[in-house]
Structure 1
């Protein structure tokens, strides 16, 4: 994904161009590398907010137009300079060759182990409880299949998104199942309306801060580092 500034458009005082062009090839592969944006403390960057403002079709039948927004959000919270990497269409180990086994839309990796699994789906049908339940079930399934490939005491977070709406849960240990994590009262966030809203930002800030603290406190065996 590239973010290209249209220099023919007026540039506001913030220095961020008004018109943005997002380029992704038709296979969904990233074209080149995207550097983590320079973000003022406590705020999403203007480029991200402008992108989100253009994504207002709550009846969109395809999730692809939301991929770039979510990738920027993950880059904001998990920058490369902190040792994280973000993989688009991450294949869960040993599920690649199974019929019907889809990749996770995005995975945040820490030392090659997943810490966040994000599944982005189309927002159409969000008001139908079955649509929301299906998105939650798919996210939980990804958690169950990926958890065995994490160090036992490492936390793991699963996020389900329907367009810009989202929900999430995390377990303090990847050795727990999704059902056990919820039954034990582990961290969870109910459906939120807009990922770039102030309430969503505050929820993610707290949510991911806890995740990072737990991740860095895990001492990995030499073979897993």
Structure 2
């Protein structure tokens, strides 16, 4: 059984999406980042970068001691390799999925995160910073929309870890000042993932773990 250290953020949702899709049993360990629980010494032994999510696999494939992992992209790749699911097995398909996973990790996530910060949380509203990150988020949405013009999912016709990484960062599109009607291919893709039973189950954890966020 996987131990998932989680909070109700886009990066946290990535891993619950995978676990629900794959049907892997897991134990949920909420790490309330608003209370700085990510800095607890015991948690830092698992996630030294004091971020969520993290996992511990008590039964890794090598038969060794429990394996702790942090960084959501690394966790998704590990779980895909562990289960043989949601990552194409052919060379080209695998690389398609991985490059879009890394696109999210290096581009969409950081830029949308800065968008959230300057738009929603910064004590001073800085027009230059807000415009910079809103515009860059829009550019990235445009890249994704073009990618989805001729395929069901980001890496092709099959749902993959690339989609699981990207989708949670599109969920708060209104925070990012993005209108999905401007990106019809994203809108279609988003609706398809939103309707998946595993997505519904994964997001139901918000009400369980962080009810205040569920009501926003």
TM exceeding 0.5: no
Which structure: greater helix fraction?
2
What is the TM-score with the length of structure 2 in the denominator? 0.32
What is the TM-score with the length of structure 1 in the denominator? 0.31
Which structure: greater strand fraction?
1
